[in-house]
């Protein structure tokens, strides 16, 4: 399968038009910078800055007990 990172036109999370893009810390989503900032806030709430969650395949829910693992 061909990598679509540079050809995607909208964010995989919020569906906004992509200008600057990045890959999600948690999965393979191509996301906009606003969604990336939201991920940064989630990472800050997780143990050890979320390092143990890198590439986990899902977006951790910090409103539950996820952050206390």
Q: Domain limits of the chain?
A: 1-47
Report, as an integer, the average pLDDT of 12-34: 96
- In the predicted model, is pLDDT for residue 1 greater than 80? no
What's the confidence (pLDDT) of residue 24? 97
Dihedral, CA of residue 50, residue 56, residue 57 and residue 58, to nearest 10 = -40
Q: Tokens 């909208």 identify what position?
A: 10
Q: What pTM was computed for the model?
A: 0.83
């Amino acid at each position: 399968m061909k990598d679509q990172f540079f050809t995607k036109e909208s964010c995989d999370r919020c569906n906004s038009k992509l200008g600057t893009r990045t890959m999600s810390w948690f999965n393979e989503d191509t996301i906009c910078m606003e969604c990336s900032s939201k991920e940064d806030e989630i990472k800050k709430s997780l143990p050890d800055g979320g390092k143990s969650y890198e590439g986990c395949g899902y977006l951790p829910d910090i409103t539950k007990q996820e952050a206390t693992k």
